[in-house]
């Protein structure tokens, strides 16, 4: 670090010609002023004429196959545009970042309480929420596992078809015992 500060010192001593604009200066955030004025528009602040609102409905059980999704009441409510589930996804039903193990909307099976099964869409947020709450899902429960160590054991309940272990990495470096033995 002293190399850098020596360098900066030298640059400053050179005068105008050698002056750096940003390195070594204290800068305000580009959007700092807006933020302290309360001006930025976040997603929840946006309102577009004629927009629809969606509210998600979630699994209430930890592990089960979905027997039935009954959205008849929700769909029948006034000003409800529809109820979306995995069948309505035109593209790939996947929302995970690393492995393809998290569908956007559950297809046939739920793997944790809170898994997103679908969305109710309506003209206002309040109606969308009421419609989401009116969707009735019935489940056939499956056995559960809640402990990660337990879940890694060979005979464990399988949460995912390919098993519960996402990835295994072996890292071998040096010889710990030798190192400890040789330390003061």
Partner 1 sequence: MSKHFVTMTVNGTEQSLHVDSADTLLNVLRDRLNLKSVKEGCGTGDCGLCSVLLDGRLVNSCLILAAQCRGASVTTLEGLLEDPRVKVLQEKFLKYNAAQCGFCTPAMLVAAKDLLAKNASPTADDIKVGISGVLCRCTGYYPIIQAIEEASEAKVQ
Binding positions for partner 1, rule: CB under 8 A:
28-29, 31-42, 44-45, 126
Q: Which is nearer to partner 1, 32 or 143 (CB)?
A: 32
Longest Cα separation, the chain: 77
Q: Least CB distance from residue 97 to partner 1, whole Å?
A: 20
Instruction: Determine the Cα–Cα distance for residues 92 and 104; give it in Å rounded to an integer.
Output: 9
Name which of 68, 58, 69, 65 is nearest 140 in CA terms: 65
Q: Which is nearer to partner 1, 32 or 76 (CB)?
A: 32
- In 10 A of CB 159, how many CB atoms? 18
Q: Which is nearer to partner 1, 84 or 131 (CB)?
A: 131
Q: Least CB distance from residue 174 to partner 1, whole Å?
A: 35
Contacts of 78 (CB under 8 A, 6+ apart): 127
Q: Least CB distance from residue 150 to partner 1, whole Å?
A: 31
Q: Least CB distance from residue 32 to partner 1, whole Å?
A: 5
Q: Which is nearer to partner 1, 129 or 158 (CB)?
A: 129
What is the dihedral angle through the alpha carbons of 37, 38, 42, 47, rounded to the nearest 10 degrees?
-110
């Amino acid at each position: 670090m002293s190399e850098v500060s020596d360098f900066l010192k030298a640059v400053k001593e050179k005068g105008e010609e050698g002056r750096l604009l940003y390195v070594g200066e204290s800068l305000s955030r580009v959007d700092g002023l807006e933020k302290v004025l309360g001006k930025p528009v976040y997603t929840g602040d946006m309102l577009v004429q004629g927009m629809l609102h969606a509210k998600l409905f979630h699994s209430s059980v930890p592990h089960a196959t979905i027997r039935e999704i009954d959205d008849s009441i929700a769909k029948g409510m006034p000003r409800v545009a529809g109820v979306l589930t995995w069948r309505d996804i035109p593209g790939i039903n996947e929302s995970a970042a690393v492995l393809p193990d998290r569908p956007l909307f559950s297809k046939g099976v739920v793997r944790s309480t809170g898994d997103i099964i679908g969305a109710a869409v309506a003209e206002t947020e309040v109606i969308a929420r009421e419609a989401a709450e009116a969707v009735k899902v019935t489940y056939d429960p499956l056995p559960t596992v809640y402990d990660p160590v337990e879940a890694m054991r060979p005979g464990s309940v399988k949460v995912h078809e390919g098993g519960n272990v996402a990835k295994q990495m072996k890292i071998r470096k040096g010889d710990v015992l030798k190192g400890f033995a040789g330390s003061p």
